[in-house]
Amino acid sequence: MRKDTHRTLRLRLWLLGLGFTAALAGICARAVMLQVFDGPRLSRKAADQVEDSVKTAGKRGTIYDRRGQEMAVSVTVSSIAARPAEIPDREAAVRELAAVLRMKPQEVRERLDSPRKFVWIKRQAGPRETESLRRKHLPGIEFVSETNRFYPNRSLAAHVLGFTGVDGRGLEGVEFYYDAFLRPSEVSVKVLKDARRAGFLTELPAGRDPDGKNVILTLDHGIQYLAESALNEAVAAARARSGMAIVMEPTTGAILALAIAPSFNPNAYEEAPRPLWRNRAVTDPFEPGSIMKIFLAAAALEHTPLSPRSTFHCENGRYQIGRHTVHDVHHYGVLSFQDIIRYSSNIGAAKIGGAVGPERLHETLSRFGFGRKTGIDSPAETSGLLPPYRKWAEIDTAAISFGHGMSASALQLASAVSAIANGGVLMKPHLVSAVTDAEGREVERFAPVAVGRAIRPETARTLREILQSVLLPGGTGVLAALDGYTACGKTGTARKVDERGQYVNDRHLASFIGFAPAEDPRITVLVVIDEPKGQVYGGAVAAPVFKKIAQATLTRLNVPPAPAGGGKLRVAVDGGGRG
């Protein structure tokens, strides 16, 4: 009896061991199958449940002024994304997202109805929106870190800087022109999901630097502020439509300031009318008026025996050319070449233009860059208009001699006058001096570029003497005379055309352009006031703005004043014109 009991017990133990062995073998076999044969497939499946890959970009490069002041930077913000397949109650999600993000429910619904696995709901959401949404712990909603462009000086230099779109690409100005340098590169990063299925970014791949390059402007933050302040004040005082001002280094072509009034805030560019985005100093041509007498004088000195002492009869204010009549503001008799420029006589200019002739005048204007783009590093530049000389009638030569019948941009005028200031060489204007990497190492430098010689050095010297007389008592630019510095310049007043292409008497462009100090020019300054009310002459409206900008700029650049009594011109004084 006892022997049977032991036999039964051993049989049970043997069967139990056999069962455990079989179970263990099954487990091992299954493990082998999962690890060896199904491992890669299951790893991918597991990874899909806890991680995903999203393309993101580094920070856009910073834009600095010439002194290292930040003009445009990138700040980190959160963008809201969704994985529609992981949202259990889509209508509830639509209501929550629309309320928090201040979006239309239909817009949110259309995005969630997308067949794609990953969709953007709102790029670059505000901090309050992001935090409010995080607290709701909505399933299938993810927060992706991106960068947003920020302009710390608000509207300062807005037309130079431009702005970027929501995708971070430059749309206007330097942001657009240098987008290839500034734009960061894209990298793929893992998005890990926590227990609530919320996503968060891991670190960027080691060894990758996706950040964009930095751009160094030629602008001076302080000079830009001075120019904008003086221009805005003048436009308001004159009840003008708009205004422009440029400050340029004549020896290099570097732009120290470029101001447009009215301006806009690039942080909220979409709130400004689209035409306001345009950098009109670069894109818009206009008839310059009497400023062009500078280049007429250059043509006469280069191509004729005329000298500053040569005389012309100015017909007492009324001069007939065919069926056309040229007028002067004042009734001048005989004036010297120099006084024609100093008093801004249109009739005298017409007669000098006749002595130069269409071909030589056109040649000289072309050498100064009129009729073609300057090549500045800014988008949508105009070439202006300089008609072929073979098509000029006698009245066309006369009109172009005093700045009508052709057009130029503010930038072309500043570049051309800078050629006189530097001794006769036309320089290519530029807004950017260098590109650096994130550590500040220089990647590329843009050296000054000489386009070509416009006039002989001796012609430039004679022109500087003539233009210096414009700012002395009796000249049209007396209100531009600086305190402690010598200066040269020229006034301009041009009637505008109406919608029918006819010149009208109640719309004018008032301008002044000059450089200082006269003996060693460091800056060229142009001021244009569009449609001033009341006083309309360049000598009254624009010349005082030139003085304010030039005076402050020379001080900021630490240019020493002229010695007492130095650098002055002696000229005869008698009743002047208005320019």
Which residues are designated catalytic? 290
With residue 26 as reference, give the H or E element that holds it.
helix 2-32
Let me know: does 450 contact 422? Beta carbons within 8 Å. Answer: no
Q: Give the span between the Cα atoms of 39 and 20, in whole angstroms.
A: 26
User: What size, in residues, is the chain?
Assistant: 579
* CA–CA distances in Å: residue 523 to residues 253, 254, 256, 513, 515: 10, 10, 9, 11, 6
Parallel/antiparallel/unpaired status of strands 214-217 and 63-64: parallel
* CA–CA distances in Å: residue 414 to residues 175, 282, 455, 514, 528: 23, 11, 16, 9, 11
Closest CA to 59 of 80, 73, 70, 69: 73
Among all chains, which residue has been given the structure tokens 């689209």?
A: 274
Q: Side-chain half-sphere of 151: how many Cα atoms within 13 Å?
A: 21
Parallel/antiparallel/unpaired status of strands 318-321 and 311-313: unpaired
Beta-carbon contacts of residue 77 (< 8 Å; ≥ 6 apart): 124, 125, 126, 127, 130, 145, 146, 147, 148
CA 66, 71, 74, 75 torsion-angle sign = positive
The per-residue DSSP string of 169-185 comes to -B-SHHHHHTHHHHSPP
In degrees rounded to 5, what are phi and psi of residue 407? -145, 155
| H and E: helices and strands count for the chain | 19, 21
Coil vs helix vs strand at 324: strand
Closest CA to 256 of 30, 559, 543, 575: 559
- The number of beta carbons lying within 10 Å of the beta carbon of residue 564 is 6
Q: Give the span between the Cα atoms of 266 and 163, in whole angstroms.
A: 6
The per-residue DSSP string of 474-533 comes to TSTTGGG--SSS--EEEEEEEEEE-TTS-EEEEEEEEEEEEEESSSS--EEEEEEEES-S
